[in-house]
Amino acid sequence: MSFDAVGKRIPRVEGPEKVTGAAQYVADLKLPGMLVGKVLRSPYPHARILRIDTSKAAGVPGVKAVITAEDTPKIRWGAFIKDLYPLAVGKVRYVGDEVAAVAATTEDAAREALGLIEVEYEPLPAILIPQDAVKEGAILIHDDIPGNLVLDKLIHRGDVDEGFRQADVVVEGNFKSPLQYHAWIEPIGSIARWSPTGKLLLYMNTQTLFMARQRIAYALGIGIGDVRIIQPHVGAGFGGKSCDDNNAIVCSLLAKRAGRPVKLINAREDEFLASRPRVPSNIFMRLGFTRDGHVIAKETDVLNDNGAYSAKAPATTRVTALRHDIMYRHVNVRTRVRLAYTNNIPTGAFRGFGNPAGHWAVESLMDMAAVELGIDPAELRLINGVERGDVTVHGNIVRSCALKECVRRAVDLSDWNRKKADKVPHRGIGLATMVHVSGRRHFGDFDGASAIVKVNEDGKVFIMSGEGDTGQGAFTVFCQIAAEELGVPVSDVSISAGDTDMTTFCQGNYASRLTYIGGNAVRRAAAACKRQILEQAAQMLMASPEALRIKDGKVYIEGSPEKFVTVGQAAWARLYRRGGEPIVGFGAFDPPSEMQDQDLVGNESGAYTFGCQIAEVEVDPETGKVDVVNFVAVNDAGQVINPTLAEGQQEGALGQGIGWSLTEGLVFEDGQPMNPNFHEYKLPVAQDMPRLKTDFVGDPEPTGPFGAKGLGEPGMVPTGPAIANAVFDAVGVRIDTLPLSAEKVYRALQAKAQRKRSRAKGG
């Protein structure tokens, strides 16, 4: 299908603001009389608070507010489980727990005041390993959660035991993946101001404005309508800026106490402690195959580390356990999924939302099975992959799917067959496939969006959307969708900032939902405007609306392009007449998905994105260091709205995937993170990035805007196993714990050499 705006490399609509430095982020904003906020955090992983004395802090010149839990409503809140106070009540549960906060006229005064707050603690035993947390008799981290289990569920599909009895080949393994910090450039931050009428205004770099409003109102004990949130420009989110932390709530409490606006911006170390990083996973998995390569049995046991508070870890853990099952034609599946409280940093949402951990296990086992079966790893995916029209073992309805096309295209782009045949010492190539959602019903039986589009008298178009943009380019995509629907140039379309008072309700940026769900709402709103334009132009051109077309901002009679009126002329004529009205359209879209039932059966998303990645690595046998030298990523995202933005999503995802796979992870000592900084927390840099080939295989999604599906998260879902499988291909060692550090690979190589020597000696 031919498009004028969709599928084009349109520059980002906010690009000029950003490249000129005019874009305002929350840290750039200044309000009259604004104070600086700071938070005092616990130095203990688990301790009872015996006494807090803030008198010295309150006496520091410039200090306008000092608060503890006694100055809060003491309301527990949370996304799924209400287990978090704005400031610690009674005891602290991890190193970093918020204990007190100050607001002062200067940074120096605020820091000085923090240092003068006296807190007396009684240290308590800490549980730092989830396996210890679930042992019988373990101390309780939250007294009202028995067994420290946030989640404990067993899921059965089919006859798993019979499937394993019939299997010709069984492979199994234990796979661990680490906590990963989001590592955005812009830290979490808020500015809070209370009006004389008691309404709270918050400037927040949040991904989910309306859900943040709900949570903040609940935690403060006020009405939802008493909170207004405005989203400035956001320097990335990756799932972590979803108001699962206390920053905005503490900022609001400080502003209330001080009677002045307060800005609270996390320092980098605060970010490592408080921003709800990726959930660490422990997964046992077993797969059974017939001799011809069909998977006929699958068993999984997941035990994840929730940390001290829940955030979105309950939802991400369910994703870890089940999401990857959509990818293959499973029949017999048994899964136990558990999530345990520990005295570690609370964990939550990060790009992929638990899905990379599940793929890390299953895609490693698929390669192990390929070796046992003597089947090419790519071919094994083709044998088992789902196709358009399939309904999975968990009730997922696959309306569009180009998974197998992704595999074939990736094989071609990577020169897979030649490189597998012509082996180079210490160089290997590995493959992994993936599936992800385009939205999901995590928060009740609604996953929709809404938007308003209006056409001004000059023909320019304005979109009002509360979805927000966290730097990924959603606003540009929305403008392209509206322009395509209305038949106007993209340059004639602009969009509002996210603002809970000025836009209609939207769920926000998570689950790769904005293009698919927010885009559909924008398209429907634009379509409502289009109907009004055509009705008015039909009167002006003395033709029926059905006979008219719009292109380049001109409304003309089909077959007679010389007979036209402009969109602006139609808008003017519709307004300036007796009983006139502006051209305004409202659109809403709730996808064809459903809430999963108690047994976690149900079509969780309206559309599913598929993909395949192939990594080529070189391994230094003397050090174990792994270098990713070439990488191919092919995605089925339906109709790509903006190829430049889509490629950028894949490039950024690859950087995060390489970090998670090879170098990242916090090091803890007695619950204390030892490397909460960018010097010692090893992020990939430019020289670590491989040559990348990206392609998109389109299977248009029938329910998507112009056939589009989500793309933000999928790009890092299969990266870990693709790299690990390549390492195995290069040097014959299988690492089951991420990251694949040089030390782990070196030790595995040494152990392999020792086994070889032992066999030779024994022979």
Question: pLDDT tens for residues 604-619?
Answer: 999 999 999 999 999 9
Q: CATH says 281-442+596-753 is which class?
A: alpha beta
Output the pLDDT for position 763: 55
Give the phi and the psi of residue 361 in degrees, each rounded to 5: -75, -55
Average pLDDT over residues 420-449: 95
Output the pLDDT for position 492: 98
Percent of the chain with pLDDT over 70: 100
> Which residue is associated with the tokens 């769920």?
507
Distance CA 243, CA 459 (A): 38
Flag whether pLDDT at 1 surpasses 80.
Answer: no
Contact 102, 56 (CB under 8 A): no
Flag whether pLDDT at 453 surpasses 70.
Answer: yes
Distance CA 149, CA 302 (A): 12
Please, where are the H alpha helices in 191-263?
209-220, 247-258
Flag whether pLDDT at 601 surpasses 90.
Answer: yes
Question: pLDDT tens for residues 174-228?
Answer: 999 999 999 999 999 999 999 999 999 999 999 999 999 999 999 999 999 999 9
Contact 499, 230 (CB under 8 A): yes
- Bond prior to 621 in cis (omega within 30° of 0): no
E strands of 579-728, at which residues? 583-589, 608-619, 626-636, 668-669, 672-673, 691-696
| pLDDT bucket at 442, cuts 50 / 70 / 90 | confident
Distance CA 24, CA 22 (A): 6
Residue 116, token pair as written in the block:
């003068």
Decide yes or no: CATH 3.40.50.12780 for domain 15-22+448-589.
Answer: no
Contact 284, 291 (CB under 8 A): no
> Which residue is associated with the tokens 């009872």?
48
Distance CA 629, CA 274 (A): 35
| pLDDT bucket at 324, cuts 50 / 70 / 90 | very high
Average pLDDT over residues 715-719: 97
Output the pLDDT for position 460: 98
Distance CA 461, CA 533 (A): 12
Flag whether pLDDT at 84 surpasses 70.
Answer: yes
CB-based burial label for 94 (10 Å; 0-12, 13-18, 19+):
buried
CA 219 to chain centre: 24
Q: Give the pairing type, strands 493-495 and 461-465.
A: parallel
Decide yes or no: CATH 3.90.1170.50 for domain 31-124+190-235+241-269.
Answer: yes
Question: pLDDT tens for residues 487-517?
Answer: 999 999 999 999 999 999 999 999 999 999 9
| pLDDT bucket at 3, cuts 50 / 70 / 90 | very high
Domain with CATH 3.90.1170.50 in the chain: 31-124+190-235+241-269
| pLDDT bucket at 750, cuts 50 / 70 / 90 | very high
DSSP 24: P
Distance CA 3, CA 10 (A): 13
Domain with CATH 3.30.365.10 in the chain: 15-22+448-589, 281-442+596-753
Flag whether pLDDT at 344 surpasses 70.
Answer: yes
Whole-number mean pLDDT of the chain? 97
Nearest residue to 122 via CA among 143, 92, 98: 92
Distance CA 245, CA 267 (A): 14
CB-based burial label for 450 (10 Å; 0-12, 13-18, 19+):
buried
Question: pLDDT tens for residues 218-231?
Answer: 999 999 999 999 99
| pLDDT bucket at 760, cuts 50 / 70 / 90 | confident
Output the pLDDT for position 699: 76
Average pLDDT over residues 285-299: 98
Q: Give the pairing type, strands 149-157 and 262-265.
A: unpaired
C-alpha count within 13 angstroms, C-beta hemisphere, residue 737:
9
| pLDDT bucket at 762, cuts 50 / 70 / 90 | confident
